[in-house]
Amino acid sequence: MGSAIDITLAILTIIVPLFGGAFTVIMFYIKDVMEREPWILVAKTFLWGFFTGLFLIGFSIPLFMGAKRVTDNMTSDWSIILFMLAIVFIQAIFEETIKGLMLWRRCFITMEEIDGLFDGFFYGATIGTGAGVVDAIAYAILSTTWLQGFEIALIRTIRIPGTHALFTGLVGVYFTRHKFMEKKITPGVITAILLHTIWSIVTYLFHYYFIGLNFYGANFAFLVIYLLLMSVISSSLIKYDRKHFPEIQNDIKSSN
């Protein structure tokens, strides 16, 4: 019986993040009421994000395993806190920079489908979602038991829309501004890094202050906030595109 439960939990540990990632991409896809993106390009972009996540995990997991060994030998609470904050900041810089480079290479050099701010946000969020799925699966597999792994996968899946997707989506907006308006890219990347750092700190506080059902309740509460925030951002970007990129509407009408 135990092995059957473990197998079921192992399967769910992998399936839940994949379904969560698909839900996130579809949620953004449906929001694009101006011009739906070709599914084949969306799928390819998600896979590029997935491969980016594999690369990032190869950096993040050894980093935190090494950090844990160092903190185990520390006696001062402040030393541990400052050291972990440094690790979090380094991870945020590395991850957001790599995702940004992949987004730029994949979507802004080799693809002509991006013709508005929402498109930049959508493809950025898709790259981020692919990376977030790998993140959820990898950390779950490294847990001590499959039950703990499933819990980790579930929590990290809940956070995908508001972390990887949101951060890389915002970078995509700044990339699009650069493409059409020759605005600077740097503020977008810095914003993503700072948001990533802040969220990582909040995550540690969650683990410290919330236990049991309260922990799940807090995360589901944040999921609701994520969805509302994404809805507001998506609607605002589409409204902006309709006002400042009227040629998109003309292309849609002529194609119909």
Q: Report the chain's mean pLDDT, rounded to a whole number.
A: 83
Longest dimension (CA), the chain: 69
Q: Which residue carries 């508005």 as its tokens? A: 116
CB 118 within 8 A of CB 235: no
**Residue 255 predicted with pLDDT over 80:** no
- Span 146-157, pLDDT tens digits: 788 888 888 888
Alpha carbon separation from 16 to 55, 56, 124, 150, 152 (Å, rounded): 21, 20, 22, 8, 11
- In sequence order, the 6+-apart residues with CB closer than 8 A to the CB of 179 are 108, 114, 120
Domain ranges of the chain: 18-243
Assign residue 215 a region (left: φ > 0; alpha: ψ between -120 and 50; beta: otherwise).
alpha
pLDDT of residue 168: 94
- Span 93-111, pLDDT tens digits: 999 999 999 999 888 887 7
Alpha carbon separation from 154 to 18, 146, 166, 200 (Å, rounded): 11, 12, 18, 17
